[in-house]
Structure 1
Amino acid sequence: MLTLIQTGFMLTGLILVLATLTLYLRRTQQWQALWQIWVGQLRDLNITEFRCYRSGILLLFIGILIRIINLTLYGA
């Protein structure tokens, strides 16, 4: 059951992050600035993009924590 929950969190987080990056790239057309999002130097995200991006990262982090718990409790 935890595997299904973990997969859901990680898939949803990944979709949110990719959707946010797509929205940003469509809005600004700055393809060279894409790497700056990953290193936290980009200040050009609007509030909706920022919230979606951070929510996606949070869901990915929760998915990883659930994976660690799943491996700790039930092994491989």
Structure 2
Amino acid sequence: MPMVIFRLRDNSLYCYIAKQDLEAKVLELEHNLPECWGGRISLEGGKAYYIAPQPAIPRFPVSLRATRSEY
């Protein structure tokens, strides 16, 4: 499971994947509500990851574990 770092920049959410030294803009987030944040995350360039849903929107920057999403 790679460690990913989410940060806000220019009112957009970006994801940095440490193992790949890759930073990409988040295009789609499965759950983006005040009471549930995370799930499947689609990134610029076609990659997708899964973050276990969090009970609230985290304070950015935040480091979380992710798995590759196949769907």
Q: TM-score range by the shorter chain?
A: under 0.3
Structure number with greater CO (CA < 8 Å, separation at least 6) is: 1
**TM score, norm. by length of structure 2:** 0.22
Q: Write 1 or 2 for the structure with the bigger share of helix.
A: 1
Q: Write 1 or 2 for the structure with the bigger share of strand.
A: 2
